[in-house]
Amino acid sequence: MRRSLTLTAFIALLALAGAGRPAMAQFPPPPQAMTFHLGVGDVLASVGKTNAFLVSLGKQARGLKLVPGGTKFAGLTCAGFGDVYKLASVTVLTGPGVFPARVTTKKGKDALALSTAFGLAGLTPWFPPATDAETDRQFWTAANAPHGIQFASEALTAGNDSGLLGAASSAGIFRFRATVPTNVPPGAAYRFLLELVGRTASTDTGLVAFGEQRCFTFVDLVPVDVGVLSRLVNETLSDAYVRNGLATRVTTLIQALDRRDFVEAFEVMAYIIGHLVARTPEHAEPAAARRVVTGVFDVRRGLDFRPATAVCGNGTRETGEACDGVDHGGFTCSSIGYASGTLTCQPSCLFNFSGCVANPVCGNGVLEFGEECDAGAQNSNTEPDACRTSCKRAFCGDDVIDLFEDCEGNNLLGETCKTLGYDGGSLKCDPVYCEYDDERCDEGE
């Protein structure tokens, strides 16, 4: 009897657990660490955008007033940033829940007003601590701070103008990696809460003490990770041929970035953009193509970032460097996929792969270094888009009309100048891009 009761209770518990648990598909994807580039220009522009948002809240931002150059709300004036007040520090905060700790005026009423207003802004909740915080601005540092991550100029501690940023010096990046939700559309921006501190430059005030202004704003940032590009390709391009073809290239890009082969990465990125442009609008909807192109350039910008403290040639591998001297970050020829050899570092802090030896066996179905593909028995020199028997991907000039190709050699697929809408002339196939070359087609007058 006792055993049967225990069994019944166990079954009931199982049933309850099952009933309470949503279906697997309903679970949101787990949060993921992503890299963001916060531009100095973005920071300065965020003041105006936030002010406009606060105005649009109407009665929900009670007490908001217009002041010259911006607004005053909850005891804080957001005006003249980059102009009268030069940027002295930027803190990326975790969300509106931090206001009670950071704004203690009026017995918490100001903090409540800010929490309410910014709570309506759709801020992205992210999970501290942020990592990899760096900046390419001289005289600025990055460090974890209470409720977020802070980028600060030396001016704050040195009591001078060191590093203060105005609208005229709006170049520069604050970079950080934060764990954010991933259940957003591909290429969508994440909205971060910022706390800005601005200071008047010493020349503005003469011997008078520095003027200081604190202000909360928000900024929309798209991650610069290649994962976003992968999602953009897979989720926004509707044509399966284009999508699958580019997805393969994105995989190649990811592999190149994994082994820090930036030269190949750059080539692949140019390829992706080129072929997307070539297929628009016939096979790629223009708005979707533009988003993917932007995604590629976002990744490219991410690779361009060099922290102000990084020095190529100091023997330590830093952000933006594949290697530095003998510091290869643990990479060897074999870890990258070569059979053997010695990996070296170029003076430009890029790997030199010429000392690596590849020993691939084409046709064994295993992708080895030196091979672009290997589909084993499926390798073919006659099937469109198949891996060729040389273990090279299908290419223009392989005598097969592949994806992204209009023609090959003299095979124009029956098209002529006339069928393309011209009055006559001689249609050719571009030997480099395998596209119709209509320069010799006649335009009737």
Partner 1 sequence: MLVLLLLNLRRVPSRFSPTFLVLGLLVLAAFGDASAIAAERTFVLAPADLVSAPDLFGAKALSRSATLGRTVGLKRGAVRFAKGVCPSLLADPTRRVTRVRLLGSPTGAPLVVGRSLGSGLTNALTLIGAATWSAPASGATRQTHWVVDAPVADSVGFTTVGFAFGDQTGALGKEHASDRALGFRMNVNLSSDPGVGTAELAIAVTTELPPKKLGKPGKRTECIVVASLPPADLPALRALVNAAPLTSVTKNRLNFILNTADTFLARGKPDRAARNVRTFALEVAQRTETEIPPAFAEPMINRANAAAEALSF
Q: What does the alpha-carbon distance between residue 151 and residue 343 come to, in Å, rounded to a whole number?
A: 36
Q: Which is nearer to partner 1, 285 or 383 (CB)?
A: 285
Min CB(224)–partner 1 separation in Å: 13
Min CB(426)–partner 1 separation in Å: 17
Q: Using CA of residue 9, residue 15, residue 19, residue 25, what is the dihedral sign?
A: positive
First to last CA, the chain: 99
Min CB(233)–partner 1 separation in Å: 16
Q: Which residues pair with 356 in a beta bridge?
A: 341
Q: Is residue 57 a contact residue for partner 1 (CB under 8 A)?
A: yes
Q: Pseudo-torsion of CA 175, 179, 180, 182, nearest 10°?
A: 110
Q: Which two tokens stand for residue 358?
A: 């590849």
Q: Which two tokens stand for residue 390?
A: 């040389």
With CB under 8 A as the rule, give the number of residues binding partner 1: 49
> Which of 134, 204, 137, 207 is CA-nearest to residue 165?
137
x-marked contacts with partner 1 along 6-45 as a string, rule CB under 8 A: ---------------------------------------x
Q: What does the alpha-carbon distance between residue 396 and residue 196 come to, in Å, rounded to a whole number?
A: 53
Q: Which is nearer to partner 1, 53 or 99 (CB)?
A: 53
Stretch that binds partner 1, among 195-203, 277-285, 314-322, 336-344 (CB under 8 A): 277-285
Q: Is residue 266 a contact residue for partner 1 (CB under 8 A)?
A: yes
Residue list 63-92, contact with partner 1 (CB under 8 A): 64, 66-71, 79-80
Q: Is residue 171 a contact residue for partner 1 (CB under 8 A)?
A: no
Q: Is residue 184 a contact residue for partner 1 (CB under 8 A)?
A: no
Q: What does the alpha-carbon distance between residue 103 and residue 95 come to, in Å, rounded to a whole number?
A: 13
Peptide bond into 281 cis (omega under 30): yes
Q: Using CA of residue 165, residue 170, residue 176, residue 178, what is the dihedral sign?
A: positive
Q: Which is nearer to partner 1, 293 or 358 (CB)?
A: 293
Q: Residue 353 contacts by C-beta under 8 Å, 6 or more apart in sequence?
A: 261, 333, 336, 338, 343
Min CB(99)–partner 1 separation in Å: 21
Residue with tokens 């070539």: 278
x-marked contacts with partner 1 along 291-330 as a string, rule CB under 8 A: x-xx--x--xx--x--------------------------
Min CB(219)–partner 1 separation in Å: 12
Q: Which is nearer to partner 1, 290 or 306 (CB)?
A: 290
Helix, strand, coil fractions of the chain, as percent rounded to 5: 35, 20, 45
Min CB(421)–partner 1 separation in Å: 8
Amino acid at 318: E
Binding site for partner 1 (CB under 8 A): 45, 47-49, 51-53, 55-59, 64, 66-71, 79-80, 185, 188, 266-267, 269-270, 273-274, 276-278, 280-281, 285-287, 289-291, 293-294, 297, 300-301, 304, 433, 443, 445
